[in-house]
Chains A and B, each alone.
Chain A
Amino acid sequence: MTTALPHTDVAPVASAKRRRRAPGWLAVLPLLVFTAVAFGLPAIAILDGAFTAKDATTGATSYTGANLTASLHGAYLTALLGSVKLSAISAVLGALLGLPLAQAVAGSRSRALREAVLTASGVLANFGGVPLAFAFVATLGNAGVLTMHLGLKDSGWNLYSFWGLVLVYLYFLIPLMVLTITPALDGLRAQWREAALNNGATGAQYWRHVALPVLAPSLLGGFVLLFGSAFAAYATAAAMVGSAVPLVTLQIADALSGNVLVGQENVALALSLDMVLVAGLVMAVYLPLQRRSARWLDA
């Protein structure tokens, strides 16, 4: 780690040690090498595999676009679109429901309430995966506590459905939105509200013409983050619905575990590439928005 230290001529210590200035990139090198191997190899494997076809009889491989084409047709396309639809709807709902909750907290004078809600959000935003699925199964599943007590079954309720998944996803998406948007709400300065009122704006006009436009990049950024999170989610869906709802993550898992026809691994890689492209698009939208809102709110 000494390599990263600057050399100081003015150290008043008697034995002023003169060090050769070791370049700082030596300290960064292990990280770069590590990611090149642990991340780079799988990434190359996805890219390579997505464009490779293996002849079942001869074992010879050749490059082809057939996998990608296949991944955008039939059941795979349905799954991809299903994932996009599920993520988009959950993200919109998560953003719309998270905003008022965050505002209820950010606008409150009570520090205790604020700390409690933010800490709870921190836990709940991480409460995804298998435990979340089981908690909802216990609550609203076929034998769930609420299902039984409220007789939901007769009214056609089914947790293992598209809207069931949306309901479950919101459980970690709303807290994620609260965590994302609260700093932005805190960044809304009291002076802006007062300056708006001073200029003859009503409370509603302040929200319409100042607060929401200023928050817009953060809101959109939050939505995009939620979308990415829902899109990548696998554990919850796997533990809850199996393959009752077509999702791209479930398709990839099926193909990898050999639950479907042999030789589908390359299609799984092509689907993975599709996902990477969607996620990349999400980040490409998110980062500039993040930067803009930081400029407005931290200045």
Chain B
Amino acid sequence: MTATTLEKAATEQAATVEFRGLRREFGATVALDGLDLTVRPGEFLALLGPSGCGKTTALRMLAGFEHPDSGAVLVDGRDITRVPAHRRDAGMVFQSYSLFPHLDAVDNVAFGLRMRGVRSAERRGRAAELLELVGLGDKGKRFPHQLSGGQQQRIALARALALRPRVLLLDEPLSALDAKVRLSLREEIRRLQQELGITTLFVTHDQEEALSIADRVAVMRAGRLEQCAEPAELYGRPATAFVAEFVGTMSRIAGTLKDGTVEVLGQRLPADGEAADGEVDVLVRPENLRVRADAHGGAQVVATAFLGAVVRLTVRLADGTEAKADLPAHEAAGLGAGAAVSVSLPERPVLVATRTRN
């Protein structure tokens, strides 16, 4: 399963992709509301967001299946907005069921070459090579209905690579698969992408998937880009409250902001983020919330969930709000539902956001 020299050639000419001010409305809904984003050569970029945020629309514009009302799509600085779909250099893997049902695996992969008029023997050789690349060298004669969902997606991946595209587009390719296959296939997609060095856009609504696979993750919301950053930065230093809560688990704890510090849980901590002085919410990751058994702590455990290495506690604070905390399993031993606890935060800057509840 190694990339051939043919594939490696792609590395040297990996493409830059730019979205400039993309706007698209479907009737009353705004799918894209001025999207600006640049994908670096050879980069694996995940487009992450809730459904309806415009991530798929953006991908389909790059593939040529949708057209922007305004704005432009550029590949290596060349405007391709008006280039028809079948002349774009972008291989796409769809969510599911995209293989042609009347063709076997080899012919599916070789389809693009056939459209280009490549001779039968040559295209079959190339298709076999690609099937080998995705680990299905022995399944060439199988038809789509004889293959599992995971195998079908591998073949779709091989087909997308057959014309040696400059950009690889993955539109939630794992969402129709079951958990185990999803995990192994995503690792393989990543490995393949690194071997080929091809610029790749990956659309997903699964934040864990995005964080684990991508070089950078672009979080979208309502047709706009919220933040585009490397996974660690996105998780550790989310630029907005939306990113903070969409990526990973986040609890909101009431605090009072004044002069750049926030008064929360009886502590005074430096504050990050944009909020006016006064009543704010402090955003806290479960692993950052400390919980200690304390009969006079004023907080109470309401539920526990065993997650393996850690136990996730749901704690009701003195003011009635609930927060999540992850504790190593051995520390959580005595803290069943109903236990009285005290809650604190580490002495580090915290992210604050405008209060959203009363």
Q: Give the number of residue pairs across the A-B interface with Cβ within 8 Å.
A: 78
Asked whether B333 is an interface residue with its Cβ less than 8 Å from the other chain, the reply is no
Binding site for A on B (CB under 8 A): 63-65, 84-88, 90-92, 94-102, 111-112, 114-116, 144-145, 156, 159-160, 162-163
Contact with A201, one of B86, B90, B91 (Cβ below 8 angstroms): B86
Question: What are the residues of chain A within 8 A of B162 when measuring CB–CB?
Answer: 199
A198 near B102 (CB under 8 angstroms)?
Answer: no
A196 near B111 (CB under 8 angstroms)?
Answer: yes
* Distance, CA A7 to CA B88, complexed state (A): 62
Binding site for B on A (CB under 8 A): 189, 191-192, 194-202, 205, 209-210, 213-214, 216, 295-297, 299
Contact with B86, one of A197, A209, A295 (Cβ below 8 angstroms): A197
B98 near A189 (CB under 8 angstroms)?
Answer: yes
16 contacts between A and B (CB under 8 A): A191-B97, A194-B85, A195-B98, A195-B156, A195-B159, A197-B64, A198-B85, A199-B163, A200-B86, A200-B115, A200-B116, A209-B114, A210-B102, A214-B100, A295-B101, A296-B101
B92 near A195 (CB under 8 angstroms)?
Answer: yes
B86 near A191 (CB under 8 angstroms)?
Answer: no
Task: Name the residue on A nearest B98 (C-beta).
Answer: A191
Contact with A194, one of B63, B159, B163 (Cβ below 8 angstroms): B63
Tell me the smallest distance from the CB of A297 to a CB of chain B, in Å: 7
Question: What are the residues of chain B within 8 A of A192 when measuring CB–CB?
Answer: 98, 100
A198 near B90 (CB under 8 angstroms)?
Answer: yes
* Distance, CA A194 to CA B114, complexed state (A): 16
Tell me the smallest distance from the CB of B251 to a CB of chain A, in Å: 40
Q: A194-B65, A198-B85, A198-B91 are in contact. Are A205 and B98 (CB under 8 A)?
A: no
A198 near B145 (CB under 8 angstroms)?
Answer: no
Task: Name the residue on A nearest B107 (C-beta).
Answer: A209
Tell me the smallest distance from the CB of B246 to a CB of chain A, in Å: 27
Q: A295-B101, A295-B145 are in contact. List 7 more A-B contacts (CB 8 A).
A: A196-B111, A197-B86, A198-B88, A198-B90, A198-B160, A202-B86, A299-B145
B85 near A296 (CB under 8 angstroms)?
Answer: no
* Distance, CA A48 to CA B101, complexed state (A): 47
* Distance, CA A286 to CA B88, complexed state (A): 41
Tell me the smallest distance from the CB of A221 to a CB of chain B, in Å: 15
Q: A213-B102, A296-B145, A299-B145 are in contact. Are A198 and B97 (CB under 8 A)?
A: no
Of residues B85, B96, B99, which shows the largest number of chain A Cβ atoms within 10 Å of its Cβ? B85
* Distance, CA A191 to CA B91, complexed state (A): 13
* Distance, CA A216 to CA B92, complexed state (A): 27
Question: What are the residues of chain B within 8 A of A199 when measuring CB–CB?
Answer: 86, 111-112, 115, 159, 162-163
* Distance, CA A295 to CA B146, complexed state (A): 11
A299 near B97 (CB under 8 angstroms)?
Answer: yes
* Distance, CA A209 to CA B90, complexed state (A): 21
* Distance, CA A271 to CA B92, complexed state (A): 58
Question: What are the residues of chain B within 8 A of A296 when measuring CB–CB?
Answer: 101-102, 145
Tell me the smallest distance from the CB of B210 to a CB of chain A, in Å: 22
Question: What are the residues of chain B within 8 A of A202 when measuring CB–CB?
Answer: 86
Of residues B95, B100, B111, which shows the largest number of chain A Cβ atoms within 10 Å of its Cβ? B100
Question: What are the residues of chain A within 8 A of B91 when measuring CB–CB?
Answer: 198
Tell me the smallest distance from the CB of A211 to a CB of chain B, in Å: 10
Question: What are the residues of chain A within 8 A of B92 when measuring CB–CB?
Answer: 194-195, 198
Of residues B65, B85, B96, B101, which shows the largest number of chain A Cβ atoms within 10 Å of its Cβ? B101
* Distance, CA A56 to CA B223, complexed state (A): 90
Task: Name the residue on A nearest B87 (C-beta).
Answer: A200
* Distance, CA A217 to CA B112, complexed state (A): 24
Q: A295-B145, A299-B144 are in contact. Are A210 and B85 (CB under 8 A)?
A: no
Question: What are the residues of chain B within 8 A of A196 when measuring CB–CB?
Answer: 86, 100, 111, 115
Question: What are the residues of chain A within 8 A of B163 when measuring CB–CB?
Answer: 199-200
Question: What are the residues of chain B within 8 A of A189 when measuring CB–CB?
Answer: 97-98
Question: What are the residues of chain A within 8 A of B94 when measuring CB–CB?
Answer: 191, 194-195
* Distance, CA A202 to CA B84, complexed state (A): 9
Q: A194-B92, A197-B64, A197-B65 are in contact. Are A205 and B115 (CB under 8 A)?
A: yes
Question: What are the residues of chain A within 8 A of B145 when measuring CB–CB?
Answer: 295-296, 299
Tell me the smallest distance from the CB of B198 to a CB of chain A, in Å: 15
Tell me the smallest distance from the CB of B25 to a CB of chain A, in Å: 16
Tell me the smallest distance from the CB of B139 to a CB of chain A, in Å: 17
Question: What are the residues of chain B within 8 A of A198 when measuring CB–CB?
Answer: 63, 85-86, 88, 90-92, 160
Question: What are the residues of chain B within 8 A of A213 when measuring CB–CB?
Answer: 102
* Distance, CA A214 to CA B159, complexed state (A): 19
* Distance, CA A197 to CA B159, complexed state (A): 12
Tell me the smallest distance from the CB of B64 to a CB of chain A, in Å: 7
Of residues A197, A205, A209, which shows the largest number of chain B Cβ atoms within 10 Å of its Cβ? A197
Task: Name the residue on A nearest B152 (C-beta).
Answer: A299
B101 near A214 (CB under 8 angstroms)?
Answer: yes
Question: What are the residues of chain A within 8 A of B144 when measuring CB–CB?
Answer: 299
